[in-house]
Chain A
């Protein structure tokens, strides 16, 4: 299967471990990724609050590029997924679409309305299937307790994300966790906000959110949290020590990008999965999996 690849900014910026980990597991899954080097940032909801039309035009531009390649879009960022889904939802209005296509005409692009951007999480559930994934699991994460952390953009608003047509999207992460052999730790914070959008605006509140979710998962006995969102990862991993200091308790909750957890279960090494780049030490996980110490 071939997709137009939309990695987003963060997998090439603050979370550089995500991009190569994704490439490696996609290779094993038989997913071919075609880069779109001229695709822009989705706006991440920030541009949209300033000017929705501008944000939608940039996303329509990316959709038109994928249409020209005749490929569906695959992303690895929940925020990109949410923003693209919301844009695509609005672009179903033919008048609005025509207005936006006027802006794209100068570059020789036209969006016909057929793009269907999908997060790798949804691609795995809907296009690849858990049976196929299971055949590639050589080191099941048996005995590991994993708490799913969806964040916001891949669960709300449900109409733009087409949950009614795709009810399987509601528990997609849990399905992945079970398929790779780990045990799901269900917890209240799984669809709450990680606090990243207000990191530079109200750091105290942002850290309180990180502390709350990671502590909750810890107290429920989770060995790790797993997320499809690199922005959530940035806050939950990179800022966890700061959040723990604010909360006045040790936390030490390893946060895995979804492709990393899958890669480990496929037998790929912690080094290849970029775990060395994490701020919260992942060694306890590796030891539990019987991987020789660093």
Chain B
């Protein structure tokens, strides 16, 4: 099978280092992967094409690139299924500086993983022998521990695109691997100090829930789902004093008591009713909404049978959750 690969190239040693696109057509096996095609290009067409790869079995996590605009492992992507309008575009992973061609600098990636202290930090009294964790308590972590640190999630993270200080999906999923480990934190497995750190700016509440990382991850880690679970852990551990936690709680209160969203009151409740400077910041937007007839209803009516929604809240939320 002949495939045409459009590769985004970059040579830092060129006279005028600018990224450029280059097309290569190579013959690979019908069931060949995008990585097979890239290696063929390097062997037959241009020995200077730079890329990282090792295991060719989606275990080592070396070959993450953007294929047709979305991150994934080149070795896990069958070329035949990736052809769009006759070509497959391959670019270096996003949100990391390009060193050469498809090779990116992972320093920032590892710095962030290190920032979350990627090791167990038990706080209670030390047991006489080893720390014991039951199968049930660990089984749900199998997806998170499957992370191969390939950087696909970081590549496609929409927040990191605009804010390089965001911890990002890989580091936050790694953090969850510890906050959800019964051996981490106090004797009840609550990682209070870790959660406190992660609720700070650039942490868990800065995720915008776009699901790009879930779509990009080749190993089913679903980083965003872990971040959402960690937010719940943080609220349970008593960290209510963040805009994120207030937003979640105000949203939930509104649905519980009226059946739908009271948008008008959601914003002040999220930024804090006493946070005058932040509230003043929204004043121009509020005036603009008012003058354009876009103000949500001042009187927030309940939906029909709202009492049944309340009953569901009472039944489904466990006593622990009734804050």
Q: Which residues of A contact B (CB under 8 A)?
A: 9-10, 12-17, 37-41, 43-51, 53-54, 57-58, 61, 103-104, 106-107, 152-153, 156-158, 188, 192-193, 195, 197-198, 200-206, 208-209, 212, 238-239, 241-242, 276-279
Contact = CB atoms under 8 A, between A and B. Distances in A.
Contact of B231 (A13, A16, A49, A198): A49
Contact of B316 (A49, A54, A212): A54
A10 B255 CA distance: 13
Interface in B204-243: 205-212, 214-215, 228-229, 231-232, 235, 242-243
B211 A157 contact: yes
Nearest to B249: A50
B301 to A, nearest CB: 10
B316 A43 contact: no
Mostly, the B contact residues are helix
A270 B84 CA distance: 38
Contacts of A47: 251-252, 255
A102 to B, nearest CB: 9
B260 A41 contact: yes
Contact of B309 (A16, A58, A206): A58
Q: Which of A54, A107, A188, A209 has the most CB of B within 10 A?
A: A54
Contacts of B311: 106-107
B232 A193 contact: no
A248 B260 CA distance: 37
27 contacts: A13-B296, A14-B294, A38-B304, A38-B308, A40-B255, A40-B306, A43-B255, A44-B251, A45-B209, A48-B228, A49-B232, A50-B248, A51-B321, A58-B255, A61-B309, A61-B312, A107-B311, A158-B215, A192-B161, A193-B159, A198-B207, A202-B163, A204-B163, A205-B162, A209-B162, A277-B292, A277-B294
A54 B206 contact: no
Contact of B271 (A54, A200, A238, A276): A200
B86 interface: no
Given A12-B297, A51-B232, A238-B288, 19 more contacts: A14-B289, A14-B294, A16-B296, A37-B304, A49-B209, A50-B232, A50-B235, A61-B309, A107-B305, A157-B214, A192-B161, A200-B247, A201-B205, A201-B247, A201-B270, A205-B208, A206-B208, A276-B292, A277-B292
Interface string B263-305: 1101100110000000001000100110011101100000111
A211 B230 CA distance: 29
Given A198-B206, A239-B285, A242-B285, A276 B293 contact: yes
A280 B214 CA distance: 33
B251 A156 contact: no
A235 B11 CA distance: 39
Nearest to A239: B285
A202 B288 CA distance: 21
B261 interface: yes
B296 A14 contact: yes
A53 B232 CA distance: 13
Given A50-B235, A50-B248, A205 B159 contact: yes
Contacts of B24: none
Given A40-B303, A200-B243, A107 B251 contact: no
Given A44-B251, A46-B251, A242-B285, A13 B214 contact: no
Given A38-B304, A200-B243, A46 B248 contact: yes
B215 A157 contact: yes
A103 B260 contact: no
A131 B37 CA distance: 41
A103 B261 contact: no
Given A10-B263, A43-B255, A58-B312, A205 B214 contact: no
B283 to A, nearest CB: 12
Contacts of A201: 205-206, 242-244, 247, 270
Nearest to B227: A49
Nearest to A107: B308
Contacts of B207: 198
Max chain A Cβ within 10 angstroms of own Cβ: one of B243, B315, B316:
B316
B316 A277 contact: no
Contact of A156 (B205, B210, B316): B210
Nearest to A193: B210
Contacts of B211: 152-153, 156-157
B201 interface: yes
A46 B263 CA distance: 14
B252 A50 contact: yes
A243 to B, nearest CB: 11
A57 B161 CA distance: 35
Contacts of B294: 14-17, 238, 277, 279
B128 interface: no
B158 interface: yes
B215 A13 contact: no
Contacts of A14: 263, 289, 294, 296
A197 B209 contact: yes
Contacts of B206: 198, 201-202, 205
B118 interface: no
Contact of B267 (A44, A200, A204): A200
A197 B208 contact: yes
Given A192-B158, A193-B158, A209-B162, A152 B210 contact: yes
B312 to A, nearest CB: 5
A53 B312 CA distance: 10
B251 A212 contact: no
Contacts of A158: 215
